[in-house]
Structure 1
Amino acid sequence: MPHTKDDLPDALYSAAQVRGLDASLIAAGTPGFELMQRAARATWRALVRQWPAASELTVVAGHGNNAGDGYLVAVLARRAGWWVRVLAVGDPLQLRGDAASAHAEAVSENVRIEAWSGQSECRGIVLDALLGTGLTGDVREPYAGVISVINASGLPVVAVDIPSGLCADTGHILGRAVRADLTVTFIGLKLGLFTGDAADVVGELVFNDLHADPQLLEGAPTSALRLMAGNLPCLPARTPTSHKGKFGHVLLVGGDRGLGGAILLSAQSALRSGAGMVSVATRSEHVPAALARIPEAMVLGTSSANQLMELLQKVSVLVSGPGLGQSAWGRSLLSAAANAPLPQVWDADALNMLAEERVNLPKDCVITPHPGEAARLLGMSTAEIQADRPAAAHALSKKYAAVVVLKGAGSLIASPDGRLAVCHQGHPAMATAGLGDVLAGLVGALLAQGMDAFNAACLAVWLHANAGEQQGKFGRGLAASDLIPAIRQLLEEQAPCLK
């Protein structure tokens, strides 16, 4: 069955897991060549839907089953009366198995097949059937040069299964990748289509299960869960007898000199996301601004950690890090927070001090690093984090025994028990300061309202990304505070207050 956009399944797989599903389908009685034909028909239908007036197709084929899919799409285009040409990278006579059968069928249908050369010209729609999901190392020549020509052509591009050069497991571009306008993928959704560099190269994504028996998919191992409106954890609806004492008390610690706005954004987010009570511990000089902006919050001007001790006995959740800085003031406050037996959210400078081993992370914690902070926590480079974001999220969760939100394009939420969720929503306008502070306050508010750490992180990331997507439609210039009313509205739609 074809699926597009938000109709996609929620299970995500590694390349090896999808190959296992493919093998299971074959073992259950569906010949591999029949699956290849189904993939070709699915690609052809999606292509025609996307460009109904088109009549020319250039298939760029490599080796393996990805090329076999391309040859069979060329056959379908030829039968439909299109101008078709296959540009073969390498000798097609070296193809084996089902791919060789697909090539033979293209030859029998008199499809024009030419060897790729530096002078090859692409016409019409370009079908990327170069490299499949098995790619692990960087793309080498001649494929790298072919990809550059495809990207420079300015023509519409369809990728078969995955854009060539994109890692199916990590979403990392392996040196160079085809920039597709449409990607048609099969059997199981690959994790790498939803995180890292994927958003820049996948284009519109269409999924087809190739009529796989659902029973074969049940119980099969998966790599991650794709967060969507239908599978999100939910807060319970609020009954008419609700009162503030039922929804927790969040204490937010941060806002050193020159950084007061961060803790105020976080506090405003916690308040507007439903926390019953909100307190802020910050520099004394920030108290007037905090009271003017958030009069509903209880604001404590704090010069030392000793002033926190009484308040720590009264609150239910801690959020540490927004605007905390790394001076002695911030270190002392974070040390006091680390010793509090409470669910906590650590962000920003709290994570930088954690990376420097100045403090230990308490139990029941959610940490929300961006790639640079994740690199410091793991003793790696940011490039290494981005090269395998799922592995980095799992490594952080294991190292710190915490729920981890690895922020960025295709944010990842990892649990110490091995669960991984992916949120691919969002908008380029969200590339602005303060959004992490809003997210930290939101996670804290959901913890205060009774959610466990993994579910609170999943729901918070989804709300945050979708609020950004809504507000991002107005274009660049998005301010972090713009997300807060949108988050409130989305939360109410999901878990309303009953009258």
Structure 2
Amino acid sequence: MQTLPANIYSVASVREIDRTAIEDHGIPGYTLMSRAGAATFHAARRRFPDAKRWQVVCGAGNNGGDGYVVARLAAQDGIVVSVLTLVDPESLSGDAATAYGDFVAEGGVVMRWRGELDAEAELLVDAMLGSGLERDVAGEFAKAVAAINEHAARVLAVDVPTGINADSGARLGCAVKADMTVTFVGLKTGLFLDCAPDYCGELLFEGLEIPEQCRAGVSPEFRRIDDALVRDALPPRRRAAHKGDFGHVLVVGGGDGMPGAVRLCGEAALRAGAGLVSIATAPTHAAVLAATRPELMPHAVEAAADLEPLLEKADVIAFGPGLGRSDWARLLFEAVATDARAAVWDADALHWLAQQPNRADARIITPHPGEAGALLQKPTAEIQTDRLAAVQALQQRYGGVAVLKGSGSLISAGAEVPSICTSGNPGMASAGMGDVLTGIIAALLAQGLSLHQAALVGVEAHARAGDTAASKGQRGLIASDLIAELRDVINP
């Protein structure tokens, strides 16, 4: 089994790679199917070594064919395996028919689905519908999905869990909830979007020995942030370095009653390596911030004029944490909006930006889906339905770099192929996490990374720190826990 590759494709593009391998490179389709089935079988043996009784549930097409290969190999290995089919095997054609025939020729027995699974099965293999699904699962297929989800056995999905749209990640009516999914040829966009990650379980990839030339002419929809990105972007510091080499971040926010947001943002910027961090905040907060984190340099700001000398000293602006929607916040927005420095905008800065839209090439915006909806004047549900289109629309409308936060945060920098972060966990769905991300990205900008690079590295570092912090449990994880893990992440 291979490491997950960076490129992620549409279903149509994966089919084109498959076609090129067969027609232009002479790899028989049944050879690819046999490799897919073998990869799935070996993955199952490694992940579920104690499962001695398997049941494979097959549909039509290549997904069902993969299932018959899995069943044949399992039987050869001495596993007690049974196969249920939801279609008449006599209706199978092409490679799927060959796989069925090979299984039966070796003594395999295929039974029609009658509404029940093997109650004693220890592993269920979903080989029903695969990546071609475009309409809601219905009829006997829906009943089979329900039976699989209610069964006590572990579940392995072949290529894509039945019921998940392989392009959008949407659940089409109902879907198999797998413990592991083994996907082939190319990663599909839908495996990373919408609710799909909740149904895929552990995701494994097998390229089926398809030559890389088959992928050369096919453009990905987006890319996973490369595992080496943080390491390559943040090399060891030279011995003669001083704080001035690592930039001055100015955090602007913290309206009355909200000092915590700027404190989290400022401390995250320090922990992510910024040389200096100043905070422009409401007068009532300045003394408190200085007492609780002396490395921060808080400044009381009563009016926009108080902000001007602070802006002049800053290299990067982190704008929005705890800003609020008061007249004071509006005045700060008007002052920052005309500044040309590199900046990261989040939280209430995005509220004001939605009210007074403008483009800025030196700005990174980091909305969550609700904020993205306001920026694009669309319902949040519509943003979530097509997150890839949403992040691209945000970048086109507002310039610079757009980060659409959420499970599988997406980053768009215009002409570049969008990127997705596959690190992170549900424990990070708690207050202050966005403030921390803003501080991290701002610190990376201050250290000389480009807007796009700072967004990519910042999102990935934030997620990895969250994963480390969640090692003690996701529930109860708070933003300060993540900050405590940053140093290990940014010093690879």
TM-score, length-scaled by structure 2:
0.94
Shift of residue 228, structure 1, vs aligned partner: 3.7
3-state secondary structure, aligned to 1:57: strand
Q: What amino acid is aligned across from residue 9 of structure 2 in structure 1?
A: Y
3-state secondary structure, aligned to 1:296: coil
Distance in 2 separating the partners of 1:167 and 1:448: 41
Distance in 1 separating the partners of 2:163 and 2:275: 49
Distance in 1 separating the partners of 2:110 and 2:224: 40
Distance 1:489 1:84, change over 3 A: closer
Q: Alpha-carbon deviations, 1:196-233, whole Å to 9, x = none?
A: 32332222222211111233334532222212432445
Map of 1:336-355 to 2, 5 A cutoff?
336-355=335-354
CA contact (8 A) 1:196 1:408 kept: no
Match of 1:414 in 2: 412
Deviates more, 1:72-81 or 1:37-46: 72-81
Match of 1:101 in 2: 98
Map of 1:9-48 to 2, 5 A cutoff?
9-27=5-23, 28-48=25-45
3-state secondary structure, aligned to 2:153: coil
Shift of residue 145, structure 1, vs aligned partner: 2.4
Match of 2:453 in 1: 455
3-state secondary structure, aligned to 2:197: helix
Distance in 2 separating the partners of 1:53 and 1:247: 53
**Runs ≥4 residues deviating over 4 A:** none
Shift of residue 275, structure 1, vs aligned partner: 1.4
Map of 1:113-262 to 2, 5 A cutoff?
113-121=110-118, 123-232=121-230, 233-262=232-261
Q: What amino acid is aligned across from residue 453 of structure 1 in structure 2?
A: L
CA RMSD of aligned residues (A): 1.9
Distance in 2 separating the partners of 1:120 and 1:9: 35
Q: What amino acid is aligned across from residue 11 of structure 2 in structure 1?
A: A
Distance in 2 separating the partners of 1:116 and 1:186: 26
1:110 aligns with 2:103: no
Distance in 2 separating the partners of 1:76 and 1:313: 69
Match of 1:329 in 2: 328
Match of 1:292 in 2: 291
Match of 2:312 in 1: 313
CA contact (8 A) 2:234 2:491 kept: no
CA contact (8 A) 1:254 1:321 kept: yes
Distance 1:352 1:139, change over 3 A: farther
- Provide the aligned length of Structure 1 versus Structure 2: 488
2:61 aligned to which of 44, 60, 64: 64
CA contact (8 A) 1:195 1:422 kept: no
CA contact (8 A) 2:157 2:182 kept: yes
Shift of residue 284, structure 1, vs aligned partner: 0.3
Map of 1:398-437 to 2, 5 A cutoff?
398-437=396-435
Shift of residue 141, structure 1, vs aligned partner: 3.0
Distance in 2 separating the partners of 1:268 and 1:191: 35
CA contact (8 A) 2:358 2:398 kept: no
Q: Alpha-carbon deviations, 1:4-63, whole Å to 9, x = none?
A: xxx322222222211111111102100111111111111111112222233322111122
Distance in 1 separating the partners of 2:367 and 2:239: 38
Shift of residue 79, structure 1, vs aligned partner: 2.8
Match of 2:80 in 1: 83
Match of 2:381 in 1: 383
Distance in 2 separating the partners of 1:139 and 1:254: 48
Deviates more, 1:375-384 or 1:467-476: 375-384
3-state secondary structure, aligned to 2:139: coil
Q: What amino acid is aligned across from residue 80 of structure 2 in structure 1?
A: W
3-state secondary structure, aligned to 1:404: strand
